[in-house]
Amino acid sequence: MEIIEKDELVIKSNNSKVTAAILILAVIAVIGIWYTVKKANTVPPVVPAASTVTLMQIKNDSKDSVLVYVTLGTTWGCLQNVLLVPYVTDTVPGQRGLQGTFILAPGDSTISWAPDTLGYNGVISFNHAPDNCPAPSYTNGLNQFEFIINNSFQPGSPQETVDISCVHGVNCVIRVKLETESSWNAGPSFPSIQGFANTMDKNQIGTPGIYPYGCDTCTASKSPPSCIPLPQPAQKNKICNVQRDAILSGGTVYVIYLAKEEPLK
C-alpha cells in the first residue's frame, strides 16, 4: 500500500480547491456572457443622441370631425404601446395594445410628437381601422398612411420611409407634407419631394409616394387580398415609397386628412 506523506496530502487538497475555484469562476463567466447577450437581444435600442428626432403631426383640414386610428407595427426597437402616444385616448380590444383611436375636430391637429428613445413605425387611417377588403360602409375600400421614422439603429443603411397605400382601395384623401432640412426622394425620377397626396381615384398611377389599387409591390400585384379583382394598373417604376437616410432624421412629417367618401347609411 502506498504511503502518502502529510505535506503531499495538503498539496493535493489545495490543488483540488484551486481546481474547484477555477470551475466556479468559469461557470460565473459563462452565465455573465449569456445574460449580456440575452439583454442585448431583448432591450430596445436607444436612438443615438447625435440623431435629431423626426416628429409627426396629424391634422384635420376637413369640415367634419374624424376618427383617427393609430396602428403600431411590431418592428424591434420601435414603440409597441399605443397608449404612450400622447393624443391616443382609447385602445382597440384584441389588438395587444398596438391599436388606438382618438377624435380630431375640424381644423384641429395633434402636437408634433415621436418617441424620444424608440423608433416609430405603423399606420394611420381615418374613420375606419385598416382593412384588406372594402368595409360594409366603405365599398370603395380603405387607404392608409404608412411610416417608419427614427430607425437609424437598424443594421445596414436604414431609411426613414413614408407612403400612402391605396392597395386596398380609397375612402379619403390624405396629404403628406415633409418639412425637414434634408430632402426625401422616390428614386432617381423624384430626387427631392416635399409632399404628396392621393385622390379619390383608386388608380394613382404616376404619383410618387402612392401604392396603387391592388399593387402590393408598387409595380405589380404579387399577393393582394383575394377580394381585389386582377389585373390592376401598376406603377411603371418603384416610386411608391418616399424615403431618406435614417441618419438624417429631424424636422416634421405632417399627415393631413382632407376629405372623405361618404359612408353608406
Which pLDDT belongs to residue 22? Answer: 45
Does 207 reside within a domain? yes
Which H or E run includes 138? none
The predicted structure's pLDDT at residue 193: 98
Residues 121 and 237 in one domain: yes
Amino acid at 252: T
Say yes or no: 78 and 171 in one domain. yes
User: Is there a single domain that holds both residue 34 and residue 63?
Assistant: no
Pair 105, 18 in one domain: no
38 and 63 part of one domain: no
pTM metric for this prediction: 0.81
36 and 115 inside one domain: no
- Domain co-membership, 210 together with 136: yes
> What is the CA 185 to chain-centroid distance, rounded?
19
* Number of domain units in the chain: 2
Q: Is residue 93 part of a domain?
A: yes
The pLDDT value recorded for residue 68 is 98
Residue 50 lies in a domain: no
Answer whether residue 128 is part of any domain: yes
pLDDT at residue 20, rounded to an integer: 47
Contact 150, 118 (CB under 8 A): yes
Q: Both 206 and 134 in a single domain? A: yes
pLDDT at 33: 42
Pair (22, 100) in one structural domain = no
d(CA 232, CA 214): 6
Report if residue 191 sits inside a domain.
yes
Amino acid 202: pLDDT: 82
Q: Can you give the residue range of the structural domain that contains 31? A: 1-43
Whether 10 and 112 share a structural domain: no
Q: How far apart, in whole angstroms, are the C-alpha atoms of residue 237 and residue 208?
A: 10
- Indicate if 80 and 147 belong to the same structural domain: yes
Q: Is 83 left (phi over 0), alpha (psi -120 to 50) or beta?
A: alpha
Measured CA to CA, the distance from residue 167 to residue 241 in angstroms comes to: 13
- In 3D space, the residue among 178, 228, 184, 227 whose CA is nearest the CA of residue 203 turns out to be 228
Q: Of 174, 150, 167, give the one whose Cα is nearest residue 244.
A: 150
Is 186 found in the same domain as 61? Answer: yes
List the CATH number of the domain containing 74: 2.60.110.10
How many C-beta atoms lie closer than 10 Å to residue 129's C-beta?
16
Q: pLDDT tens digits for the chain (265 residues)? A: 444 344 443 434 444 544 444 444 454 454 454 444 344 344 455 544 435 999 999 999 999 999 999 999 999 999 999 999 999 999 999 899 999 999 999 999 999 999 999 999 999 999 999 999 998 889 999 999 999 999 999 999 999 999 999 999 999 999 999 999 999 999 999 999 999 999 998 888 999 999 999 999 999 999 999 999 999 999 999 999 999 999 999 999 999 999 876 655 4
Bridge partners (DSSP) of residue 195 are: 177
pLDDT of residue 261: 67
Give Cα 33 distance to the centre of its chain: 31
Whether 143 is in a domain gets the answer yes
